[in-house]
A and B are shown apart, each in its own frame.
Chain A
Amino acid sequence: MKSILNDYCSIIELLHIAGEIKGRKKLQKMVYILKSLGANFTEDFYFHYYGPYSDTLTIKLEELKSMNIIEEIKDESGAFPQYTYRLKAEKDIKDGLERYRDLIGILNSQNARFLELLATVIYFQQEGYQREEIYEKVKIVKSDKNYTDDEIAFSFDFLKEICADSSNNGVEGLA
């Protein structure tokens, strides 16, 4: 069975370490940020309206659900539903995410709005834009989010911190 789960190992290990992740957007951005820092996720991301997004990751979650490996809890109390993910039963699968444990905890404690900004900043950095250009880009592509200069500045500082912390734990910088 393990070979069939090869494609899903990192997602399963992420949920094992995180315990549970509230919201698809948060999960998407966490995977993108971890992948950018060198974690072994194979899902392709492209830039979408709410920042980097992976269709493959979305469908893999559905597949894990259909295999009865993860649980998806739908909360319909708000204007839009929100989904929480956790493992149904503990799986002894290791895919090298253990060294990201602290970072996973930090990211999971942030809100989805901030992770969307952070993932977007990382995306533009990887596209080769300079800091000042990224401020402009964020304001264009996230005009409806009204991110302030302070929030963008904070995301740069946050990124610097997590890169420094991660490299102390043997994790590479931005991929």
Chain B
Amino acid sequence: MAKRIKKIQGSDNFKKYFRDPIYNFISITERWILDLINSREFQRLRYIKQLGTSDVTYYGANHTRFSHSIGTMYLMDRALSQLKRVININNETRMIGLAAALLHDVGHGPFSHVFEKVVSTKHETWTNDIILGDTEINKTLKNIDKAFPQKVASVIKKEYRHRYLSYLLSSQLDVDRMDYLLRDSYYVGVKYGLFDVDMLIKSLLVDADKITLDYKGLYSVEQYVYARYYMYWQVYYHKTTRGYELLLQNILKRAKYLYKTDSLDLKVDILTPIFRKEKMELDDYLRLNDNVILYAILLWKDSRDKILSDLCNKYLNRNLYKAYELSSLVSLDEIKEKIKSYGMCDDYYLAIDKPSNVTYDYYVEGEEGEKPPILINKKGKINSITRFSESIKAISGNREIKYFLYFPRESYDGKNISDEIISYLEGLE
């Protein structure tokens, strides 16, 4: 096995450099990693934006799952090098960790979470299918060892025997989040997501298969926890971005309805499998990316269906729903009637957004056995971070809940609707 791994890893001279905007040079010194990156399934990630529709709010947010995945692998490599100082990590375990980090997002579909609501299969399921199915990625992993794909998949599913690998990849303090906070912050153009990643990685330790952090890294982890908090409110739960996602979701919902009732006039063959009831074939899924959806929207803007055409035109021209922050939840019955009185269907023109709809979250410490907290190791004694940091305690005790109501600004014939709805809502307050 060791000889085989040596052969797969390639000659000592093999070196490939990527120029990364966050870490500068990322060097790939093993051929099998380059083979994974060059696979058809991984290259698809070049066409799936990391932040979906966020570029409508922050026009720089055009980076993709491709660069995030490579960045996550880079941080995993650095984290494992750090942990090697305290525990024995053999070459096979290291390779499994790197492959899991590189491939953890390979199953994401176009516009990620919006799309998941339409096809109702989670990206984690697709990731598993890609790693274990008849794919180029599977062949590359099998070439290392027959059992290798299963081991990589089990790290991502948190079932692998060396649990610290799963902790490093997906927990309250993981390399996935470290990379996306830094990367999203850079491309979005805000400084909220920055923290001292070098110090954080240098402070990583392992205790009974759990990741802990040396006390000397306390300030860097405080920065990290605050970065999560700020990015949540300023980027991930931004009302404009969320409204644009809603618009996209409604476009796909309408197209699906029209397809099912045999009234979708402008068909996009490549998208047809997403409207069917049964789970899509993996090959069909791998043909999809953000550009396919954008092409469909360009086509559907001229649909004979008034709703589909209107939503697509709104999407293309950034004519967004009006977002209104509610101080408390209200009955929507009156507003539904107002929208209907303008000949519009409330299914597509009225919605409440709430934190439970958002995939992202910030650090909240729960109870024991709920989600493992961030653990600090102070001279061998391990305890939750809130025992050491008053500032983290301050933001991790209670979750702040904000609700946004979305409704159209104008009717189909251009008459202002939003003022009327806002004055109704203000009256309630």
Interface residues, chain A, CB within 8 Å of chain B?
1, 3-4, 7, 23-25, 28, 44, 46-50, 53, 55-56, 58-60, 62-63, 66-67, 78-83, 112, 116, 137, 140-141, 143-144
Please name 20 further chain A to chain B contacts, defined as beta carbons within 8 Å, in addition to the given A50-B370, A53-B370, sorted by A numbering: A1-B331, A3-B332, A4-B329, A23-B367, A24-B366, A46-B122, A46-B124, A47-B159, A49-B158, A49-B371, A50-B369, A56-B356, A62-B399, A63-B356, A78-B368, A80-B367, A80-B368, A116-B369, A143-B163, A144-B209
Query: Is the pair B367, A144 in contact by a Cβ cutoff of 8 Å?
Result: no
CA distance A167 to B122 in the complex (A): 29
Query: Is the pair A63, B331 in contact by a Cβ cutoff of 8 Å?
Result: no
- Say whether, besides A1-B331, A79-B368, A140 and B355 are in contact (CB < 8 Å): no
Query: Is the pair A62, B159 in contact by a Cβ cutoff of 8 Å?
Result: no
- Say whether, besides A4-B331, A48-B158, A144-B208, A63 and B401 are in contact (CB < 8 Å): yes
Residue with the greatest number of chain B CB neighbours at <10 A, chosen from A63, A78, A79: A63
Interface residues, chain B, CB within 8 Å of chain A?
122, 124, 157-161, 163, 167, 171, 208-209, 328-333, 352, 354-356, 361, 366-372, 384, 399, 401
- B369 and chain A: residue at smallest CB distance: A25
Residues of chain B within 8 A of A1, CB atoms compared = 329, 331
Query: Is the pair A62, B369 in contact by a Cβ cutoff of 8 Å?
Result: no
CA distance A37 to B330 in the complex (A): 33
CA distance A49 to B160 in the complex (A): 11
CA distance A60 to B401 in the complex (A): 10
Please pick, from B157, B356, B370, B371, the residue contacting A7 in the complex, using a CB distance under 8 A.
B356
Query: Is the pair B329, A47 in contact by a Cβ cutoff of 8 Å?
Result: no
CA distance A153 to B355 in the complex (A): 39
Query: Is the pair B332, A82 in contact by a Cβ cutoff of 8 Å?
Result: no
- Say whether, besides A47-B159, A59-B361, A83 and B355 are in contact (CB < 8 Å): no
CA distance A66 to B355 in the complex (A): 12
Please pick, from B124, B161, B355, the residue contacting A63 in the complex, using a CB distance under 8 A.
B355
Q: List 15 A-B contacts (CB under 8 A).
A: A3-B331, A4-B330, A4-B331, A4-B332, A24-B366, A25-B367, A46-B122, A47-B159, A49-B371, A49-B372, A50-B372, A62-B399, A63-B356, A67-B328, A141-B159
Residues of chain A within 8 A of B331, CB atoms compared = 1, 3-4
Query: Is the pair A60, B367 in contact by a Cβ cutoff of 8 Å?
Result: no
CA distance A46 to B331 in the complex (A): 32
Top 4 closest pairs, chain A to chain B, by CB: A80-B368, A59-B356, A66-B401, A25-B369
CA distance A5 to B20 in the complex (A): 46
B151 to chain A, nearest CB (A): 12
Query: Is the pair A67, B209 in contact by a Cβ cutoff of 8 Å?
Result: no
Residues of chain B within 8 A of A63, CB atoms compared = 354-356, 401
CA distance A18 to B261 in the complex (A): 42
A129 to chain B, nearest CB (A): 10
CA distance A9 to B369 in the complex (A): 26
Residues of chain B within 8 A of A7, CB atoms compared = 356
Residues of chain A within 8 A of B333, CB atoms compared = 3
